[in-house]
């Protein structure tokens, strides 16, 4: 079985590492995600990962009277480092070689982000976990994922979610919501479909990097996506919003 993509950028939310919306880091979730990642590594994929920090601290839900927005975003960036180190340990317990690279200096814990070094790690079969977002406030980890995908020349951004793709409405609230097989970048932006922020979508559009939205929590689903199978929504130049 040959993968459709050789080098991928996997975007994980911080919430994917928690259990039952309780926050923190769930060992069960870490093990499950790590096994999914190992499956595509065994196919020969070169894997970069951007991880969020929402399971520890969500800047968007901050009390602005206590913590100002810039400080809150800094705290969120630090949360991604905690998640990245946890994911690194979980992957290495499965025998995978990994590196964590931070967008800001934290030499005691991880490498500084250096583009050429990151690419060299990928070429050697190491999984590179990018933490710290873009290193700047007011930018989401979705934007960081799009940026890293461009920098490392990833062929696709894999946006891991808890649903099978992009829907016309929240499928948990509206059982008759329609799932789209494909959408264009412009359809996502114009219809304000909240999959990734506009900056991330625009960056992928400008660099012609497709985005695949899929359910991370179905066993073997990531492997199916890499093999060109599985249920998903593909976001690219070609649209599909008005198709029946």
CA 220, CA 211: separation in Å to the nearest integer?
A: 19
According to DSSP, residue 15 is labeled G
- Those residues with Cβ within 8 angstroms of residue 121's Cβ, 6 or more apart along the chain or in another chain: 99, 128
Q: Which two tokens stand for residue 205?
A: 């559009």
CA 152, CA 8: separation in Å to the nearest integer?
A: 9
Question: Taking a C-beta distance cutoff of 8 angstroms, is the pair 116, 153 a contact?
Answer: no
Per-residue pLDDT of the chain (244 residues; tens, 9 = 90+): 789 999 999 999 999 999 777 789 999 999 999 999 999 999 999 999 999 999 998 766 666 678 888 999 999 999 999 999 999 999 999 999 999 999 999 999 999 999 999 999 999 999 999 999 999 999 999 999 999 999 999 999 999 998 999 998 888 888 888 899 999 999 999 888 888 999 999 999 999 999 999 999 899 999 999 999 999 999 999 876 655 4
What local confidence, expressed as pLDDT, does residue 22 receive? 77
What local confidence, expressed as pLDDT, does residue 244 receive? 43
- Those residues with Cβ within 8 angstroms of residue 143's Cβ, 6 or more apart along the chain or in another chain: 133, 134, 197, 199, 200, 203
- Those residues with Cβ within 8 angstroms of residue 147's Cβ, 6 or more apart along the chain or in another chain: 134, 203
The total of other beta-carbon atoms located within 10 Å of residue 155's CB is 16
What local confidence, expressed as pLDDT, does residue 55 receive? 92
CA 136, CA 78: separation in Å to the nearest integer?
A: 12
CA 91, CA 226: separation in Å to the nearest integer?
A: 19
Question: Taking a C-beta distance cutoff of 8 angstroms, is the pair 102, 111 a contact?
Answer: yes
Domain limits, the chain: 7-236
* Helix ranges, 13-158 (H): 27-42, 69-92, 115-123, 141-151
According to DSSP, residue 90 is labeled H
- Those residues with Cβ within 8 angstroms of residue 107's Cβ, 6 or more apart along the chain or in another chain: none
Phi, psi at residue 156, to the nearest 5°? -160, 150
**Helix, strand or coil for residue 110?**
coil
pTM of the model: 0.93
For domain 7-236, give the fold: Carbamate kinase (3.40.1160)
């Amino acid at each position: 079985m040959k993968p459709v993509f050789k080098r991928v950028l996997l975007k994980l939310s911080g919430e994917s590492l928690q259990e039952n919306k309780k926050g923190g880091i769930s060992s069960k979730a870490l093990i499950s995600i790590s096994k999914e990642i190992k499956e595509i590594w065994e196919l020969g994929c070169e894997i970069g990962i951007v991880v969020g920090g929402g399971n520890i601290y969500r800047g968007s839900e901050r009390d602005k009277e206590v913590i100002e927005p810039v400080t809150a975003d800094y705290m969120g960036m630090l949360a991604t480092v905690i998640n990245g180190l946890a994911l690194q340990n979980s992957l290495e317990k499965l025998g995978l070689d990994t590196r964590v690279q931070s967008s800001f200096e934290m030499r005691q814990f991880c490498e500084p982000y250096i583009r050429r070094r990151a690419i060299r790690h990928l070429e050697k079969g190491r999984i590179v976990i990018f933490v710290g977002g873009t290193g700047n406030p007011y930018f989401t980890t979705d934007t960081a994922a799009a940026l890293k995908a461009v920098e490392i020349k990833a062929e696709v951004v894999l946006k891991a979610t808890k649903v099978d793709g992009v829907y016309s409405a929240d499928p948990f609230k509206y059982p008759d919501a329609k799932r789209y097989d494909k959408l264009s970048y412009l359809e996502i932006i114009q219809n304000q479909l909240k999959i990734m922020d506009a900056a991330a979508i625009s960056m992928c559009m400008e660099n012609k990097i497709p985005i695949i939205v899929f359910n991370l929590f179905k066993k073997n689903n990531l492997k199916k996506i890499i093999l060109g199978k599985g249920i998903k929504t593909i976001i690219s130049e070609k649209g599909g919003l008005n198709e029946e």
